[in-house]
Chains A and B, each alone.
Chain A
């Protein structure tokens, strides 16, 4: 089947199999930041923005994305760099494999809620697993980022 998706601001027309998953479609189209950590919608590594909302691209069919607008970290490099620097300053990026999905969801969270409380942060990001960091460093990065942004 044919679909048209706006990926990171660019219109892309493709012919796809009906059972193609959005994650594989995006990776096929050069969005290699999108990672797969599970097959059961449990890890959050594959998070992308679909029409502004975070979705797990491993559990969305590419066909469902027809006519939609998708953002991956490739299209949000400035935000990734801004916030990512705070993660890197903690050494919390570690293996980095979960970082794109985590950072996508942080971006989504901050778009919805400019000043989340500690509990709101942990709640919103609960689906983003990280096996390396124990989450504390990621949390410090968010807090420092918010503090610095607030100071501006």
Chain B
């Protein structure tokens, strides 16, 4: 297709402001003279707050207020940014008498300067009744210790939650008789894999600024991906009408799902609502590490059955997911561990997928790029690699024999059919790029070092089918230019620009003619938010549809002005014309402001009954030092089918960024707790993010397909890209050493210990 603005490397609309360091982020735009809000956090993993002595702290000069559990509303809510009714249980209070992890807030302190607030925090005296915590999530289900014993706990959706069993969700589903098919297989391999509670670690921590406006309404400016959900959650938590709240966002310094949950918002919102004074809360990095919304730790047990020729016929997958102290995104992330891994294998005749999501006394989890698919894919892709080793079949070959193809029905993916799937082409290209046939499995370099390769496939979704709503308002401005209003939040991903590209393509105008105004609950049309890989696919389609409708209106108005009927006129981006007459969009705009009853403006909402998966293949070549277990990534090759990318540059950087994060998850990023439940990895010192000399060379290519239901053929890209590094790297390590690491991260210690064990 001949396009002007889509499938092009267009520069982001905000790019120059960002590279020149303009003050566009929350703490740059929040006024200096507002209350500083901080919270006192529990040092215990499980305790009852018996008494809070705050009188001395209140005497610290410049302290405005100190709140404890007695001061807050007693209606439970969830902080998960999800469509109502949320699958996540209502298990939170702004402050709770029962604290459930080290870091759970005990008191809110606000004062006019940071030093005074810090001082007051130190002077609050709390008496705790310390309870025994559950720190091992494997022991949580049906334990006598209950993380949420309270009667006011509630679950709004039938997700199998039961607080009296420490269950946040539980389900079993499947297709066919898995035991029967497994019993007929020549080989059945069973393995258990363990992934950790990785931090999104966006460079801008959680932060929110609040004030009361002229109309007495609570205005919340926050670094969030979900303005509309944030408004609803705040309304429930504070017990005030939604119409009293406005939520907007400035530029966001990264999100990756972290900001799909309320984290900082609730505290300054409460302070400002109570005091009437502006306030802000800026999370420290330490707080972001210990009291936020990381990936759900999961233990995934897989049974794969295959014929000796390597046809995979059955998959049985059980996931135990650790939601921590609260249930945000617990019931939903876990589903992806099976529903977005098993469908990669198209020859599976029967599958079973069961899960339990349990509470425990560690930081609660949330949404992180990949959202459960990452964990499931690490498990299943690793199992398939182990299976191919057992069968003595090349793991690429086994995938060629088994992978899902275009037109296949995917029973494990809600019976959707792949309208667009270039996974086969992705595999073929990746294989050639890395020169698999020559490099597999390994090459001894003769100096104690081994070079080896590893492979993994991945999928994700594009939005949540029948749930996510994207909307667009497009209107003609005075001079014939356009304003596009959307409710999705650009968190660096470039969706403001991507959606403007779609509008410019549809309206046949220059991209500079489109002004984008995004994510303000007062002015934006409704949008679920920027998550679940939905923005390009769902909101993008809404933009397409809105532009089509606007063109119809312009044609009608143009025809009227020209004295013609609508079918006698056409629109070419600059004018409405027909029968040698024409009227420009600018003239139409002028007419729309004088003596007319027609608005040159439309709003369209869109939702999709399906969620077409993007697909990809990742292959890695490493050099491993057998002496130390040290890994150097030599080359990482990724080939992606995201349909037809709208912005080729941004799609590429999404892939590279996701690979970087995935490499961190695979090799470095660990979350460990002391016996008492205190997290060790509470800073970037202890939680190592990959630096530029850790990621090797990332080579990204696209194998485009065309998704009919998406805007200009697009599917999603944002999340899938984090899914291949863990299984591909584990595989490469195995090929180099014979050691299969089942628990992330893959550290040199684990490798060397494994090698020693193999020797004995």
Stretch at the interface among A49-57, A62-70, A98-106, A109-117: A98-106
Asked if residues B691 and A127 are in contact (CB atoms below 8 Å), the reply is yes
Q: Does B753 contact A (CB under 8 A)?
A: no
Asked if residues A43 and B660 are in contact (CB atoms below 8 Å), the reply is no
Asked if residues B21 and A103 are in contact (CB atoms below 8 Å), the reply is yes
Asked if residues A84 and B16 are in contact (CB atoms below 8 Å), the reply is yes
Q: Does A125 contact B (CB under 8 A)?
A: yes
Complexed CA–CA distance, A125 and B691 (Å): 9
Complexed CA–CA distance, A35 and B11 (Å): 23
A110 to chain B, nearest CB (A): 15
Complexed CA–CA distance, A94 and B205 (Å): 16
Q: Does B494 contact A (CB under 8 A)?
A: yes
Complexed CA–CA distance, A72 and B256 (Å): 28
Considering only residues 1-32 of chain B, those with a C-beta below 8 Å from chain A are 9, 11-12, 14-25, 28, 32
Asked if residues B9 and A91 are in contact (CB atoms below 8 Å), the reply is yes
Q: Does A123 contact B (CB under 8 A)?
A: yes
Chain B window 235-256, contacts with chain A (Cβ cutoff 8 Å), 1 for yes, 0 for no: 0000000000000000111111
CB within 8 Å for A91 and B12 given contacts A37-B285, A131-B661: yes
Q: Does A5 contact B (CB under 8 A)?
A: no
Asked if residues A93 and B203 are in contact (CB atoms below 8 Å), the reply is no
A71 to chain B, nearest CB (A): 12
B694 to chain A, nearest CB (A): 9
CB within 8 Å for A40 and B683 given contacts A73-B21, A85-B16, A88-B12: yes
Asked if residues B14 and A131 are in contact (CB atoms below 8 Å), the reply is no
Q: Does A38 contact B (CB under 8 A)?
A: yes
Stretch at the interface among B60-68, B608-616, B645-653: B645-653
Q: Does A130 contact B (CB under 8 A)?
A: yes
Considering only residues 1-48 of chain A, those with a C-beta below 8 Å from chain B are 28, 32-33, 35, 37-40, 42-43, 45
Complexed CA–CA distance, A135 and B16 (Å): 18
Closest residue of chain B to A95 (Cβ to Cβ) is: B492
Asked if residues A133 and B656 are in contact (CB atoms below 8 Å), the reply is yes
Complexed CA–CA distance, A42 and B286 (Å): 13
Asked if residues A133 and B653 are in contact (CB atoms below 8 Å), the reply is yes
Considering only residues 614-672 of chain B, those with a C-beta below 8 Å from chain A are 647, 649-650, 652-653, 655-661
Q: Does B202 contact A (CB under 8 A)?
A: yes
A102 to chain B, nearest CB (A): 9
Using a Cβ cutoff of 8 Å, how many contacts connect chains A and B? 180
Asked if residues B11 and A126 are in contact (CB atoms below 8 Å), the reply is no
Complexed CA–CA distance, A56 and B134 (Å): 40
**Inside 8 A of A33's CB, which chain B residues have their CB?**
20-23
Contact of B20 among A77, A129, A138 (CB under 8 A): A77
Complexed CA–CA distance, A9 and B177 (Å): 76
**Inside 8 A of B256's CB, which chain A residues have their CB?**
131
Q: Does B693 contact A (CB under 8 A)?
A: yes
Asked if residues A88 and B11 are in contact (CB atoms below 8 Å), the reply is yes
A79 to chain B, nearest CB (A): 10
Asked if residues B20 and A37 are in contact (CB atoms below 8 Å), the reply is no
CB within 8 Å for A42 and B683 given contacts A32-B23, A85-B16, A97-B203: yes
**Inside 8 A of A59's CB, which chain B residues have their CB?**
none
Q: Does B491 contact A (CB under 8 A)?
A: yes
**Inside 8 A of B284's CB, which chain A residues have their CB?**
39
Asked if residues B22 and A88 are in contact (CB atoms below 8 Å), the reply is no
B595 to chain A, nearest CB (A): 44
Q: Does B743 contact A (CB under 8 A)?
A: no
Closest residue of chain A to B284 (Cβ to Cβ) is: A39
Q: Does B201 contact A (CB under 8 A)?
A: yes
Closest residue of chain B to A129 (Cβ to Cβ) is: B689
Q: Tell which of B22, B205, B286 has the most Cβ of chain A within 10 Å.
A: B22
Q: Does B723 contact A (CB under 8 A)?
A: no
Q: What would 4 more interface pairs be, CB under 8 Å, given A93-B12, A135-B660, A136-B698?
A: A89-B649, A95-B255, A95-B491, A96-B14
17 A–B contacts, CB within 8 A, in A order: A32-B21, A39-B286, A39-B683, A88-B16, A88-B19, A91-B652, A93-B18, A94-B653, A95-B253, A96-B251, A97-B492, A100-B21, A126-B691, A129-B689, A134-B653, A134-B656, A138-B692
Across the A-B interface, the 10 shortest Cβ-Cβ residue pairs: A95-B492, A33-B21, A84-B19, A96-B18, A97-B253, A134-B660, A134-B656, A91-B649, A88-B15, A73-B21
